């Protein structure tokens, strides 16, 4: 096989005061009709590498050295207009966010029109429809008149792929194309990419942080860390026997195993009991309609968690998982049902009683970047809960508490005087954990606490949560879209689909032999390392 693309000794730096090199000596090559995965954590330089191939770098990025040879021409020395031709005919790219890559005011037809050669109206329309059918959109003649907001995430990504392959490129660069999609849709997109590869004989440079996804799709793997290539080998060899230390830790973190297992020592001592919970959102009533329409976000749900146990709720986006968390925390109104924490009905509590009781149940949010006020010091962020929920503490006690808790989550005491932007994602999530831990809750709701973190950091945060659970006997309500992760950390599990629980029970039972169709589908969609 001939080499289609070859990246040789690529050095890149971003112009700033201290000209540090972002990419250092990148070398790899892609043969025709081959899929190469670029793997690395955020900030490792994967996207920059891809952007320098297609030469769409920001202005302040400078390629210092190196060659990018595509079909025997050095892309870096090409004139801009010739490069434009290459982008038009030979190399295409799809991006992570399908919502942002499509222009919201143009119909799908108009957007695809840009990607196609000029031709007569009829012919172009036929081509576009064929194009859409080839990416698995069956009712293409209807879809072309729609606007992006009328399509689901998976459909949008298909449209993006259709645009990218319209010119029948030799190389497709896919920058985390499935990261923002649900697992079932992710599987469809991955299958589609594999199919297209065979059909069109194109090569794919697949950028991802997810090892399982990479193992499903790729022939070769390149692992990057801090702007350098750590490992470059065949996919099979890589997963069987990774050479570098970093790859080994990556592989180890991608499959998480809980060390302790829940021992049911305190029987029938339920911390949280949710009975027939219903959360309906009013939909906008039209002028003439008689009946109020409701969107049933959570429909008749019952959960119960024992002391010190972990219950997980798993489901796709829009299935109502987060609404349950919000309903328990009182962030959204409950239509019907009751929620009992430590045998007290929190929906009936009011005023001071509720304020006093609040410290018993707390929540960790998904995005550590937006859950901490950027203008407050870490110390006062953690102190906030204390000062409202435990007002009887004096200053000394409070300070003592802060010191203990910040050490418990593995940060230094000096962190208390810093601002959130001085920390990395993982450290921020530790701060968020410290903020609720300081209240000594009995129930902790974790709403996708690790999904915005890198795998190695994810593992650390999960370890921390685990450690806290064994130490303080806290019950967790763990909300996640990742059934793989949930399988390894939870004792009991509920699978949600469109506001309803489709299956509930012991985790091991559900994972190993489920009878439910949806659960089966979910399990089979999850990419496994081969």
Partner 1 sequence: MFVFLLTDIFFYIIIFSIGLYIFYVRKTKDILETWKHVFKSRTGIISIVVLSFFLLIAILDSIHIKEKIYNEQTESFSYESEIKSVLDIILLPTYKNYEKSYSSPFSSNLYSKETIILENNIERRVYPKLLYKGNHNKYASDNTVNILLTFIISLLKYFFVFLIFYLFFYFRIIFKRKNNIFTPFKLNKVFLMTLSIIVILSIFLYELSLQYYVLGTDKVGVDVLYKSIKSIRTGILIGTLTTIVMLPFAIFLGIFAGYIGGFVDDVIQYIYTTLNSIPSVLLIASAILMLQVYMANNPLNFENIYERADLRLFFLCMILGLTSWTGLCRLLRGESMKLREVEYVQASKTFGLNRFSIIVRHIMPNIMHIVIITIVLDFSALVLAEAVLSYVNIGVDPTTYSWGNMINAARLEMSKEPIVWWSLFSAFTFMFILVLFANLFSDVVRDAFDPRSNKNYE
Residues that bind partner 1 (CB under 8 A): 329-331, 354-355, 358, 362-363, 365-367, 369-376, 384-385, 388-389, 419, 421, 432, 435
Supply angle C-alpha 409, 415, 417, rounded to 5. Answer: 140
Shortest distance (Å) from residue 392 CB to partner 1: 15
Give Rg (Cα) of the chain. 26
94-124 b/e with 16+ CB inside 10 Å = b?
bbbbbeebbeeeebbbebbbebbeeeeeeeb
Q: Phi, psi at residue 203, to the nearest 5°? A: -95, 150
Shortest distance (Å) from residue 364 CB to partner 1: 9
Shortest distance (Å) from residue 282 CB to partner 1: 13
Which residue, 160 or 438, is less far from partner 1 as judged by CB? Answer: 438
Which residue, 11 or 357, is less far from partner 1 as judged by CB? Answer: 357
CA 517 remoteness from chain centre: 24
Which residue, 231 or 447, is less far from partner 1 as judged by CB? Answer: 447
Which residue, 331 or 530, is less far from partner 1 as judged by CB? Answer: 331
Shortest distance (Å) from residue 323 CB to partner 1: 13
Shortest distance (Å) from residue 384 CB to partner 1: 6
Which residue, 225 or 435, is less far from partner 1 as judged by CB? Answer: 435
Shortest distance (Å) from residue 42 CB to partner 1: 14
Which residue, 9 or 370, is less far from partner 1 as judged by CB? Answer: 370
DSSP character at residue 293: P
Bridge-based pairing of strands 344-345 and 228-234 is: unpaired
Long-range CB contact pairs, 411-420, < 8 A, 24+:
415/378, 416/377, 416/378, 416/379, 416/382, 417/377, 417/378, 417/379, 418/377, 418/378, 419/374, 419/375, 419/376, 419/377, 419/378, 420/372, 420/373, 420/374, 420/376, 420/378, 420/381
Q: In angstroms, rounded to a whole number, what is the distance separating the alpha carbons of residues 309 and 462? A: 15
Which residue, 113 or 363, is less far from partner 1 as judged by CB? Answer: 363
Shortest distance (Å) from residue 259 CB to partner 1: 29
């Amino acid at each position: 096989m001939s080499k289609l693309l070859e990246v040789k000794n690529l050095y890149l730096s971003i112009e700033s005061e201290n000209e540090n090199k972002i990419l250092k000596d990148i070398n790899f090559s892609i043969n025709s009709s081959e899929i190469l995965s670029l793997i690395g954590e955020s900030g490792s330089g994967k996207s920059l590498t891809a952007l320098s191939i297609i030469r769409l770098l920001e202005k302040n990025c400078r390629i210092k050295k190196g060659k990018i040879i595509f079909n025997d021409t050095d892309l870096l020395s090409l004139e801009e207009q010739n490069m434009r031709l290459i982008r038009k005919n030979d190399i295409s790219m799809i991006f992570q966010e399908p919502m942002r890559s499509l222009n919201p005011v143009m119909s799908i037809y108009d957007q695809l029109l840009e990607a196609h050669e000029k031709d007569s109206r009829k012919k172009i329309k036929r081509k576009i429809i064929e194009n859409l059918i080839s990416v698995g959109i069956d009712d293409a003649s209807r879809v072309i008149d729609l606007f992006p907001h009328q399509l689901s995430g998976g459909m949008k990504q298909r449209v993006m792929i259709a645009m990218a392959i319209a010119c029948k490129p030799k190389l497709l660069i896919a920058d985390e194309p499935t990261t923002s999609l649900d697992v079932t849709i992710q599987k469809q997109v991955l299958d589609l990419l594999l199919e297209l590869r065979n059909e069109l004989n194109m090569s794919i440079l697949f950028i991802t942080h997810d090892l399982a996804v990479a193992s499903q799709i790729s022939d070769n793997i390149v692992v990057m860390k801090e702007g350098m290539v750590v490992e470059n080998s065949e996919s099979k060899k890589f997963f069987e026997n990774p050479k570098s230390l970093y790859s080994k830790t990556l592989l180890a973190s991608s499959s998480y195993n809980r060390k302790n297992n829940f021992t049911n020592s305190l029987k029938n001592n339920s911390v949280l009991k949710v009975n027939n919970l219903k959360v309906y959102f009013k939909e906008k009533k039209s002028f003439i309609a008689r009946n109020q329409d409701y969107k049933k976000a959570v429909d008749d749900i019952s959960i119960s968690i024992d002391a010190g146990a972990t219950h997980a709720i798993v489901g796709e986006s829009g299935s109502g998982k987060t609404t349950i968390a919000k309903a328990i925390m009182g962030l959204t109104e409950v239509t019907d049902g009751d929620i009992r924490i430590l045998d007290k009905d929190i929906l009936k509590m009011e005023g001071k009683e509720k304020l006093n009781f609040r410290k018993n149940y707390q929540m960790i949010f998904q995005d550590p970047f937006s859950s901490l006020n950027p203008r407050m010091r870490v110390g006062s962020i953690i102190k906030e809960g204390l000062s409202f929920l435990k007002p009887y503490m004096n200053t000394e006690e409070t300070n003592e508490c802060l010191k203990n808790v910040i050490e418990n989550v593995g940060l230094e005491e000096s962190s208390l005087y810093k601002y959130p932007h001085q920390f990395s994602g993982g450290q921020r999530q530790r701060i968020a954990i410290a903020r609720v831990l300081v209240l000594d809750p009995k129930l902790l709701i974790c709403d996708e606490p690790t999904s915005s973190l890198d795998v190695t950091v994810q593992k650390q945060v999960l370890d921390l949560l685990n450690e806290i659970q064994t130490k303080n006997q806290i019950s967790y309500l763990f909300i996640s879209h990742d059934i793989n992760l949930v399988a390894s950390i939870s004792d009991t599990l509920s699978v949600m689909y469109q506001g309803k629980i489709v299956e509930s029970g012991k985790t091991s039972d559900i994972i190993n032999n489920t009878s439910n169709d949806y659960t089966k589908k979910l399990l089979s969609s999850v990419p496994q390392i081969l």
